[in-house]
């Protein structure tokens, strides 16, 4: 479960990125914006940004986003002049019927003039909703800043419902609703998430949820009624509590046995780590010992303590695994380009893109996706570029020297570095400055070869 918690920085980071685009509208009634949840909401999540900042997690989120090669958060922070550690207080995400039906409510201090300047960007238009000034960014997405330090951004229809509540034109979900159980006391709370079964089914795995790694035939997930996850930061650890509502005592007992089995499995596997990774093994043991599972016949409550050192260790392990897998994927791509030349009978030219290798059945679509690439994986998406993508014309095989870079990561996804395979098929991991220097050398050699024709 600690891994689930640790790898969601990309998801939380995406939420930060969405909330940093905004415009302005008028002040609403005196209502806690973090309880402005429409009656038809299927899930609610809350993040105390101030507490996250005190624990150093905001910096970790931004750093993780840069290491993944996107840097969207840092770019948007700069464009909107928002300092998350100084300007943001808390963020609530309201979830609807699908992963796309999400609305973000942020409280803090915003430079509306800087944010409003975003209206000059392509694809952003100014609109009015009940005399409230908004920005529409893309199809079905709206953004607005409510006076008093409330920012609203997300799916248009759900956002209008939240705005109506903030303006006193509609009533929020009742405070006695199970969905808002975690909202009743936000003081000192770092984060919480609560979702009904319908919401879980539609969450697309994009939530702080427990994923059980072993099959338990006697337990049926349809027996769940509600999942509530809350966390408080304490020193260098996060105290996490998860409560799962069950349909009856049998379901509760089954889930309890399953969770205890998972903890037992984690503990047993720690023994194999003690020689190779003693510090990581110690952290895992501390985590396993902190887990408490209790049942009252109607619900299961799991309490645990996740040290930030364990989170960092898991992230580092994940980065190393991604790097190794990425390097392993590069050679089949280089070999595939050579095979393409022979298979197509084009003895003088490389393919124009790696997608051509997929189309020819030489490599799989998964083979051109780096494991560290969290970008949207569309049909035509590739994590890699190559020397053949530097020219508009199809590249002759004679134009590439043996010591030249051949295929590489399209972004510096590996802790600010890129994996590269050269024409002679040796691989290297280059920092961005070195990569750019070698890329310029490749471009210069191609230009020279072209002018020599």
* Residue 173 or residue 25, greater confidence: 173
- Band of residue 186 on the pLDDT scale cut at 50, 70, 90: low
Given a cut of 50, whether residue 28 has pLDDT beyond it is no
Question: pLDDT grade, residue 305 (50/70/90)?
Answer: confident
Residue at which a domain ends, from 173, 198, 219: 173
The verdict on residue 310 lying in a domain is no
Please indicate whether residue 179 or residue 152 has the higher confidence score (pLDDT). Answer: 152
Q: Check whether 354 has a pLDDT greater than 50.
A: yes
Most confident of 92-101, 262-271, 283-292: 283-292
Q: Is the predicted pLDDT of residue 216 greater than 50, yes or no?
A: no
Q: How far apart are CA 200 and CA 98, in angstroms?
A: 10
CA angle 77, 429, 336 (to 5 degrees): 110
Tell whether 282 is covered by a domain: no
Q: What is the mean pLDDT of residues 397-423?
A: 89
Please state, in angstroms and rounded to a whole number, the distance separating the CA atoms of residues 140 and 155.
6
Residue 331, judged by CB atoms within 10 A of its CB (0-12, 13-18, 19+), counts as: middle
- The confidence score (pLDDT) of residue 224 equals 62
Give CA–CA dist 5/101, Å, rounded: 23
Rounded to whole angstroms, how far apart are CA atoms 408 and 428? 10
Instruction: Supply angle C-alpha 278, 309, 185, rounded to 5.
Output: 140
pLDDT, position 428: 94
Provide the number of structural domains found in the chain: 2
Under 8 Å between Cβ of 74 and 68: no
pLDDT of amino acid 430: 94
Q: What is the pLDDT of residues 8-24, one digit of tens each?
A: 333 344 444 444 433 33
Mean pLDDT comparison of 65-79, 228-242, 404-418, highest-scoring range:
404-418
Query: CA-to-CA distance for 13 and 95, rounded, in angstroms?
Result: 17
**Residue range 410-430: mean pLDDT, rounded:** 91
Residue 195 lies in a domain: no
Mean pLDDT of the 214-241 span: 61
Pair of tokens at residue 307: 């040290």
- Domain coverage including residue 5: 1-173
Q: Rg of the chain's alpha carbons, rounded to an integer?
A: 25
**pLDDT band at residue 188 under the 50/70/90 scheme:** low
- Give buried/exposed letters for 242-277 (b at 16+ CB in 10 A, else e): bbbbbeeeebbbbbbebbeebbeebeeebeebeeee
Any idea what the Cα angle at residue 69 is, between residues 63 and 70, rounded to 5°?
85
Domain boundary among 173, 191, 220: 173
Cα–Cα distance for residue pair 237/309, rounded to 1 Å: 8
Of 154, 173, 192, which closes a domain? 173
Residue 284 lies in a domain: no
* Residue that wins the pLDDT comparison between 298 and 447: 447
Least trusted range by pLDDT, from 13-27, 126-140, 343-357, 393-407: 13-27
Who contacts 176 (Cβ-Cβ below 8 Å, separation ≥6)? none
Mean pLDDT of the chain: 76
> Which of 61-70, 167-176, 216-225, 320-329 has the weakest average pLDDT?
216-225
Single out the residue of 34, 35, 38 nearest to residue 49, CA to CA.
34
pLDDT band at residue 217 under the 50/70/90 scheme: very low
Interatomic CA distance for residues 285 and 279, integer angstroms: 10
Return the pLDDT at 198: 47
In a domain, 129, yes or no: yes
Q: Does the structure show a pLDDT above 90 at 213?
A: no
Q: Check residue 439 and give its pLDDT.
A: 93
- Residue 198 falls inside a structural domain: no
Q: Report how far residue 61's alpha carbon sits from residue 11's, in angstroms, rounded to the nearest whole number.
A: 9
239 assigned to some structural domain: no
pLDDT value of residue 4: 32
Q: How confident is the model at residue 187 (pLDDT cuts 50, 70, 90)?
A: low
The pLDDT assigned to 292 comes to 87
Taking only the tens place, the pLDDT of each residue in 87-142 is: 888 888 888 877 678 888 888 988 888 777 778 888 888 888 888 888 887 768 88
Residue 245 has pLDDT above 90, yes or no: no
196-210, 211-225, 376-390, 422-436 — most confident range: 422-436
Residue 43 domain-assigned? yes
Mean pLDDT of 272-293: 83
């Amino acid at each position: 479960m600690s891994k689930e918690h640790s790898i969601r920085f990309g998801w939380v980071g995406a939420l930060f990125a969405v909330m940093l685009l905004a415009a302005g509208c008028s002040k609403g009634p005196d209502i806690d914006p973090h309880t402005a949840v429409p009656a038809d909401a299927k899930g609610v999540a809350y993040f105390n940004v101030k507490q996250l900042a005190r624990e150093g997690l905001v910096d970790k989120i931004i750093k993780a986003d840069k290491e993944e090669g996107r840097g969207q958060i840092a770019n948007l922070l700069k464009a909107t002049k928002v300092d998350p550690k100084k300007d943001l207080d808390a963020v609530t995400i309201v979830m609807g019927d699908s992963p796309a039906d999400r609305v973000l409510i942020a409280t803090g201090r915003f430079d509306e003039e800087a944010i409003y300047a975003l209206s000059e960007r392509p694809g952003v238009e100014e609109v009015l909703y009940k005399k409230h000034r908004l920005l529409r960014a893309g199809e079905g997405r709206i953004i607005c800043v409510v006076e008093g330090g409330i920012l609203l951004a997300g799916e248009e229809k759900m956002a209008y419902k939240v705005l109506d509540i903030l303006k006193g034109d509609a009533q929020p979900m009742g405070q006695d609703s199970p969905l808002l159980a975690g909202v009743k006391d936000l003081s000192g709370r770092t984060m919480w998430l609560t979702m009904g079964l319908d919401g879980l089914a539609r969450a697309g795995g994009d939530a702080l949820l427990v994923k059980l790694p072993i099959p338990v035939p006697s337990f049926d997930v349809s027996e769940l009624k509600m999942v509530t996850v809350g966390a408080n930061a304490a020193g260098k650890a996060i105290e996490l509590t998860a409560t799962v509502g069950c349909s009856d005592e049998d379901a509760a007992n089954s889930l309890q046995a399953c969770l205890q089995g998972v903890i037992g499995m984690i503990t047993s596997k720690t023994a194999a780590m003690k020689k190779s990774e003693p510090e990581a093994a110690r952290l895992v043991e501390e985590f396993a010992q902190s887990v408490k599972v209790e049942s009252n016949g109607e619900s299961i409550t799991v309490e645990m303590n996740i040290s930030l050192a364990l989170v960092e260790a898991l992230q580092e392990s994940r980065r190393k695994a991604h790097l190794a897998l990425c390097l392993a994927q590069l050679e089949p791509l280089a070999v595939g380009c050579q095979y393409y030349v022979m298979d197509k009978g084009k003895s003088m030219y490389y393919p124009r893109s790696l997608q051509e290798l997929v189309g020819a059945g030489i490599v799989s679509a998964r083979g051109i996706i780096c494991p560290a690439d969290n970008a949207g994986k569309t049909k035509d998406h590739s994590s890699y570029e190559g020397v053949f993508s530097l020219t508009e014309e199809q590249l002759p095989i004679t134009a590439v020297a043996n010591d030249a870079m051949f295929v590489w990561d399209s972004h510096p996804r590996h802790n600010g570095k890129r994996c590269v395979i050269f024409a002679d098929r040796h691989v290297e991991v280059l920092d961005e400055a070195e990569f750019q220097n070698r890329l310029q050398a490749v471009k210069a050699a191609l230009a020279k070869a072209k002018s020599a024709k």
